[in-house]
Chain A
Amino acid sequence: MRRSMLGMVGGLVIASFIGLGLGAEHVAAQPSATPAGTSQSSRADFERLQGFSTIVINHVNDVLGTEQLPVADGGGLEPGMFVTATLEQVQIYDHAVAPLQQGRLADSTIAAECDSGCPAAFYDAFQRTWLESAVESSAFAVEIPARVLLAVHRDLPASTLLQIAYAASETRPVQPPQLSLLVNNTRGSLRAKTFFLVPPRGLELRQGSAALGLTIRVGGGTVHVSATDPRFAREHQVDSPAKLQVLLREIKKSYPGKETVIVVPEEGATVGDVMQVVTTVGSAFPRLVLSGGQEVRTP
């Protein structure tokens, strides 16, 4: 029986690949002056073992530049499907799937199947990618990714980020993925800020729920703070991070067990604006939920 030629070179090859890392890593974001494609001249670079984080950094540097990511704190990078959005295009892995103009889709036709009202261009692209993942997982010994990492330009309209996140989540088979936004922390390290989405058709709380449902609307230089809990006095309008911090400290005193904030970007808000608020809110309410206008309702 004929044996593949790879059997002859395979041992060395496989040994070199065994070293590839997939685990969570804390990686310093390298400046984009040294993209992956330019490092081939050095044999030492050529032979270095690459892990998931390195591949993501290489790719983000190649298409976006890690210095363009929003600034915030977060956790370590975990492997997952990675998506990049510049102001000109969206890529899933390294495949360009949708052109953008100033960070927005030119064709904003809605996919009828998308409960959150996301554009067809994003819905179809993610749906096809999940199918490719499903076929891949049937043919090879891999799982369909449970996590989606989004690396987006800080000036991207936050509404575009939400369209992408909802499209990626609504199209995944079985259940929505975990979501992380790639950010630079203040020490220049690449981190992943985990976030959730309000369900695409909103969320109806149970009768007698003790939820606070703290909600911050971001846009136009001011933020509006409200909550679904009927005991929460009134909506507050705040125009500086310092005032927002003071207000949130007061709210935390009344609701010490609550950890969650829903951030709703309004028209014109960028991802950078949103993450600035998230950073301000972070110590008091570290769990982030984003909403594209989906509401949390009390019965």
Chain B
Amino acid sequence: MLGGLATATACKKDPPVVRLPDAPPAERTAQSFVQCVESRASQCVEAADQLVGWDSFYLLAWLAGGSPLAILEALPAELADHADPRRVQRRFVDEVERYSSTMRGAVCTANASQPIDPLIDQVGAVAGERLQRLGLWQANMLDIIAVLVEESHEGLGGGTLVRLDCERDPFRVYVATRERDGRYAVVGMTTLLPGSLTGATAGSATASVAGEPPAREVVDERLRSRALGLATASAPIPEGLVDRWMGFPVEEF
């Protein structure tokens, strides 16, 4: 009887083997992170001390391609925030919270990745040259850029920038992963790389992961997106003006 039972067990069909997708570990990590964000939002964010590298890289990318007007206005406060790990984590948490509900139905798939170290050096060089050319260069900006580059390498060194393409808003998500002691973790996320790092740098270090510039329909939808707070935004036309395009008193027309 026991023998019969053993035979029956042996003849039982093998349970299905779940195969991990045939993708690099960094892309699988990024994919898992996005799925985590869809259900648990900012609970997927790593501890604060893991995030300084990405914050440094993001600041460098902003200096390299962001609006000079915004840099002029916000850089002091952003540098102050950057010096506080709790605020660094808060920034990442806010970013994740901003997009978590939108990403839930967006169907995002990891499509491209590349090592992040060359990007750090490229972005650092572009930022330095740009600030100098625009006249935004200050006495110790050289030190700031050097420190941001160093922090980026320290925090993201050996890591990977992964691009996920989505069927709906936000259409594209960039996720930074890194590996420490055999464990992969996501340490940064953004939905847009500055223009200077995408279309303008075809053939450069960022070209493959950046992808093509977003199409007009994509940009149009994002400009009306809930995540950016623009879905319900509208400006009232004060009484007595000609039109919202001609904002002066009708009597003077």
| Residues of A in contact with B (beta carbons under 8 Å apart) | 1-7, 9-10, 12-14, 16-18, 20, 22, 36-37, 39-40, 46-47, 49-52, 54-55, 58-59, 62, 79-82, 93-96, 111, 113, 120, 123-124, 127-142, 145, 169, 171, 173-176, 178, 196-200, 203, 209-213, 257-260, 287, 289
Cross-chain contact B252 with A257 (CB below 8 angstroms):
yes
**What's the nearest-Cβ distance from chain A to residue B183, in Å?**
18
Cross-chain contact B220 with A127 (CB below 8 angstroms):
yes
A-B pairs, top 5 by smallest CB distance, nearest first, are A7-B83, A36-B135, A175-B235, A58-B135, A259-B252
Cross-chain contact B136 with A55 (CB below 8 angstroms):
yes
**B138, B140, B219: the one within 8 Å of A128 (CB):** B219
**What's the nearest-Cβ distance from chain B to residue A54, in Å?**
6
Interface of A is mostly: mixed
* Residue numbers in A under 8 Å from B220 (CB-CB): 113, 127
* Residue numbers in A under 8 Å from B56 (CB-CB): 4
Given contacts A2-B52, A127-B216, A260-B252, contact A50 B135 (CB under 8 A): yes
Cross-chain contact A134 with B223 (CB below 8 angstroms):
yes
Cross-chain contact A62 with B88 (CB below 8 angstroms):
no
Provide the bound-state CA to CA distance between A18 and B140, in Å: 13
Cross-chain contact B248 with A94 (CB below 8 angstroms):
no
Provide the bound-state CA to CA distance between A257 and B248, in Å: 13
User: Interface readout for B236-253 with A: 1 if CB under 8 Å, 0 if not?
Assistant: 000000111111101111
Interface locus among B4-12, B107-115, B159-167, B226-234? B226-234
* Residue numbers in A under 8 Å from B233 (CB-CB): 173-174
Nearest-neighbor residue (CB-CB) of B236 within chain A: A175
Given contacts A5-B151, A142-B74, contact A131 B222 (CB under 8 A): yes
Cross-chain contact A2 with B228 (CB below 8 angstroms):
no
| Residues of B in contact with A (beta carbons under 8 Å apart) | 48-49, 52, 55-56, 58, 62, 65-70, 72-80, 82-86, 88, 91, 95, 98, 130, 132-141, 143-144, 147-148, 150-151, 190-192, 194-196, 200, 213-214, 216, 219-220, 222-224, 227-230, 233-235, 242-248, 250-253
Cross-chain contact B95 with A287 (CB below 8 angstroms):
no
Cross-chain contact A260 with B248 (CB below 8 angstroms):
yes
Nearest-neighbor residue (CB-CB) of A50 within chain B: B135
**What's the nearest-Cβ distance from chain A to residue B157, in Å?**
15
Cross-chain contact B68 with A136 (CB below 8 angstroms):
no
Q: List 7 A-B contacts (CB under 8 A).
A: A36-B134, A50-B138, A55-B68, A79-B73, A96-B200, A136-B62, A258-B252
